Amino acid sequence: MSTLDAYGPPGRLTDLDDVGLKAWNVFLSDSVDGAVKGPDPAKVRNDSPRPQFYNLTRAQTASDATEATVTWAAFPRRIKLDSLSDAQRWQRADASRDVQDEYCEWSVTRDDAGRIIRVTFTCEGPEYWDVLAQTSPETALRLYQQHVSPQVRKADLFGLDGRYQRRNRWNDSTTQGAMHLIQPSNTLGAEIELAAAATIRRVIDGQELVTAQELIACSKYGVAERHSDPHIGEVVNTVARQAADLSLTDPVGLYFNGLSTEGWLTPDSSDPQSYWRYVRGEQNHPVRAVYEVPADRHFTVSDITIGGKPIRFGAQIADFITIKLSAVACRIGDSTVQPQTACVELVPATAGPATSAFAASAFSPYGYVGAGSAEAAATTRRA
Amino acid sequence: MTGPTPDGMRGQPPERRRATAWAWPSDGGGRAGGSYAPGLTAAVPAGQGPAMPDLAAGRLYRAVSGVDGEARPMADAERAELHDPLAEVFFRHGRFPMSSRELLAGLDGAGAVPEQSVFLVSESGQLPPPAAPGLHRDIRYAITRAERGRIPDLLISTGANSDPDTTFLQVAAWDAQAGHFNYYMRIRPAWVWTGDSWSALAPASRGHGCFDSHVNGSVVMKELKQPWIHWQSMAATIRLAPDDPLRGDPLYGQVAGAEQLETTVKALVGRWTDARLAKVTAGGTVDRPDHLLRQLFTSTTVNLTSTSVQSATVRADGDDLVLPIGFWLNGDALLDDLGLPVASAPPRVPAALYLGSLSRFGFRMQERTSGFSQPGDTFFAFLVPEAAREDNDVVHRMVLAGIVPAKFAAAALMVDFPNPVYSTDRARLMAYVPTAPTPAAALADSVADAITTAARGLPQDSPEARFAEHWALADDAWPTAFAARVDTYLGRAAARTGTPEGFDDLTRLAESRRRDFRSRKLNEFELTLPVTDIPADAPRLRMNEDATVTTTAPAPVTQGATP
């Protein structure tokens, strides 16, 4: 039996100072508490509370704890469904970070001839960068300069009011660099909310819902057309049905599970896997990856073929990347929480603006103002 | 066709896959009746498979269906020719693992092909266990073993929810030295070599034994693409009862998503295709052009595809369904491999029309073997056969290798392109493909010349005339010309799909293609496909380029046949 002292940063990154680490723990802990509490029943019915989800820093993880890893493909499923051909979908996925919605975003660097020389992938949630940039702005700048471009200036990252801009000129395109996730659904808040909401069992008309699409349609905890959300929900709910308590494993985050290079061929028969490097995050928790051929090899990424076809898009690599999260389950068989017998219903708003489940209030104890409210609206819940 | 019986086993335990679909006449599954041959089915149809006399323990036998009349011990010289991991780790040292556990432990002990991945498949895996308590669920493991950082060299198929000592145990093993797969199965107390990839192509054994599924000598994953229907994947989990003993199986704890197996199988198919092409075109001559080009002009086999929507979640006022692209055309070959610059979006179907079709045509999942029946479609909606990866891969790599130009492949595939599988029109063009060795550099021109010559005396809408018209296009004009036709077709298809009459036609067409698939041995399990009230003897249907559906001639039977 153990209780976590404090939530650690994603990938156990070492960028945060003491204040930042405390702020991060508060953010995570408050986010989990908010997810356990669920939405206001006056606004959303049948979705709160979520007592099978728990805060690792407040409740003990029992000795029967077991971990489950959920993996999914990084290429955006919605683009795949709407495209007729590979060329169409690769082009569309490479065109905008806003469509890269599987908790993995990328940026492509080409040479003057248009050949790909590097593709950078990130699965770092934006909330971490809010905390880092506000608590250690010089570190944030240094990391941008290290990983994106030496040309990055502080003024590029911070607005006139001093707030960190998640979307800035060095992190809002598929060509100028990708420091962390910016697609609106790609947030740690969304991950936490989704995992918590998926612990609610649903018995509708006497039948317990168990499939990914039934659950997400009823529980409305994400975007049904993504690879990630329905799958995460299905796996979490499977564990919840075993009458277990459940939480996201520390360090809470989204991580690269791996790159498969099956069917890839390099011009010199070198191992295509050797050009895939993790550059941020500890082993087993990588949050940043680069695919790049060293200059002394005298060929580019575009000279590598997959199934006989040269790599012309970063999205072709994304086809072979999987992303993961980890959850911990304990007290298996002990939960007495009863299933909900109705689906989630949104109560029509009568007046006033909707509140965000994940406002930046987590930083207030330390006097920090996080991202703007629009950016902090981190849930992926659909109206 | 009468279902196979265990007669050929002659006293051996029935360590075969329980192919329930083979137990019934190929009547489309839509009608009651039929003569069920009880018992487990053999992997080899009765009368075609080698006899299995009492096998001696500790021996490797040879039994190639269609070639060997009876299993016989492999000679030392024959065994010495086997260089795959199974032969090298076990048989060469007189070891014969009798279960998947022994096999995997033996590999671990030898440090051979150490990277293991486990996958799970079942055609009944999405049926709620309480709703079908009497159903034999036929859950199988597919296990791959690879050298670190390499694509797998061993693929093991075995029953998951059966006694590991008695359930079937089959292995496809890559022989890197020879450049082909060896196929084995355990028949207690021995192992049997059932052929290699080349056996799939040899006239005597083509389509027989394990090559009824491994039609062109490569490994097979029928449901290769998202949502990998029937497989456990990131799209769906195979459902087990809370107390199912499988949950306690260590292998079950290792199960990965079928999305991973998709990339593996594609790479393995490519490896065999490359090896095969290198061998049959060595010296600049194509040994048997017909063996290659039948994979362009005919459907030697198929994959299965579906929408990504769980059929039970479809609501009349819900989102439109995107039907699988492979239903409309061979998009993998024409768009992805040959690069036609098509601009269309995939046609969509109003959910209400799909739902209406389920009741109007009496869709149900049915297994007569057990008496199970449940209204509705397969777990993922609208399951249909599509052009096979292994056919497309041969065409793609022939183009890459310069054996035929891209225009030749496109000109052929654009003949009757709205019918990506079982096209009688394209199959007719096989008559012009030489069977004798032909210089690779002259192959495409010789076939094209033969077709265009014949076309002069045939109607303008004949397959020959259509090919000739395509072949006459300028080298820089055919991609846009073909793309424009595809765009026009898909536009018409989208319009017709949105009407009740149009969607009913699509439903009938889909069932017509499923009926063709049912007649193939690749259709192992009754619950692979839905059953409808459409009569089994309803005329075969075809899609036309104006997106109308009309009747057509019977499907060409190519599997196992050598033109």
* Per-position DSSP letters for B28-94, written without gaps between them: TT-SS------SPPPSS-TTTSPB--PPPTT-EEE--TTT-SB-EEPPHHHHHT--SHHHHHTGGGT
CA atoms of A44 and A346, how far apart (whole Å): 5
Question: Which of B244, B270, B296 is the last residue before a domain boundary?
Answer: B270
Q: What is the pLDDT at residue B555?
A: 63
For an interface test with A, the pick among B144, B226, B234, B240 (most A C-beta atoms closer than 10 Å) comes out as B234
Residue B335, in any domain of the structure: yes
CA B175 to chain centre: 22
Q: How far is CA B119 from the centre of its chain?
A: 17
Residues B249 and B294 in one domain: no
pLDDT of residue B133: 82
Domain that holds residue A142: 1-383
Domain end residue (candidates: B247, B270, B293): B270
Q: DSSP string spanning B539-555? A: PPEEE-TTS-EEE-PPP
Question: Would the pLDDT of B215 be above 70?
Answer: yes
CB B191 within 8 A of CB B345: no
Domain match, B24 and B110 both = yes
Within a domain: residue B214? yes
Q: Are residues B178 and B312 in the same domain?
A: no
Residue B313 and residue B207 share a domain: no
- Tokens read off for A114: 């248009």
Q: How confident is the model at residue B130 (pLDDT cuts 50, 70, 90)?
A: confident
pLDDT score, position B163 = 86
CA-based nearest residue to A157, from A133, A175, A178: A133
Q: Is B41 in the same domain as B124?
A: yes
DSSP run (H or E) holding B184: strand B180-187
Average pLDDT, chain A: 92
Residues B262 and B314 in one domain: no
User: Residues B9, B11, B12, B16: is their CA dihedral positive or negative?
Assistant: positive
pLDDT band, residue B556 (cuts 50/70/90): low
Q: Do you know the residue count of chain A?
A: 383
| Pair (B236, B292) in one structural domain | no
**Token reading at A270:** 């070198």
Task: Determine, for residues A84 and B346 on separate chains, whether the beta-carbon distance falls below 8 Å.
Answer: yes
Most B-contacting residue of A211, A214, A242, A266 (CB-CB within 10 A), to test interface: A211
- Selecting from A73, A81, A273 the residue whose C-beta is nearest the C-beta of B308 gives A81
Instruction: Tell whether B432 is covered by a domain.
Output: no
A257 contact partners, CB below 8 Å, separation of at least 6: A69, A71, A321, A322, A323, A324
Shared domain check, B241 and B310:
no
How many domains does chain B divide into? 2
The tokens describing B390, both together, are 């292994």
B308 plus B159 within the same structural domain: no
| Distance of alpha carbon B424 from alpha carbon B434, whole angstroms | 19
Which stretch of B30-34, B86-90, B295-299 has the lowest confidence by average pLDDT? B30-34
Distance in angstroms (rounded) separating the CA atoms of residues A341 and A208? 9
Q: A85 and B257 in contact by Cβ < 8 A? A: no
Residue B15 has pLDDT above 80, yes or no: no
B196 with B325, same domain: the answer is no
DSSP H/E element including A92: helix A86-95
pLDDT at B10 over 70: no
Lowest mean pLDDT among A30-34, A165-169, A367-371, B101-105: A367-371
Position B58: which residue type? G
CA distance B263 to chain A (A): 6
- Res. A44: pLDDT tops 80: yes
Cis peptide before B227 (omega within 30 of 0): yes
B236 in A contact zone (CB under 8 Å): yes
Domain enclosing residue B304, as ranges = 284-424+479-548
Judgement on whether residues B228 and B305 belong to the same structural domain of the protein: no
B44 CB contacts (<8 Å, ≥6 apart)? B4, B8, B50, B65, B208, B209
The confidence score (pLDDT) of residue A364 equals: 33
**The tokens 């087990």 sit on which residue?**
B240
For Cα atoms B490, B534, B539, give the angle at the middle one, nearest 5 degrees. Answer: 70
- Among B217, B244, B270, give the residue marking a domain's end: B270
Looking at the structure, do residues B251 and B294 belong to the same domain, yes or no? no
Percent of chain A with pLDDT over 70: 91
Compute CA distances A144 → A180, A351, B249, B525, whole Å.
10, 42, 47, 56
What is the total count of domains within chain A? 1
Q: Residue B468 domain-assigned?
A: no
B281 phi/psi in degrees, rounded to 5: -115, 10
What does the pLDDT read at residue B521? 86
Note whether A82 contacts B346, CB cutoff 8 Å: yes
The answer as to whether B108 is a domain residue is yes
Q: What is the DSSP letter of A164?
A: B
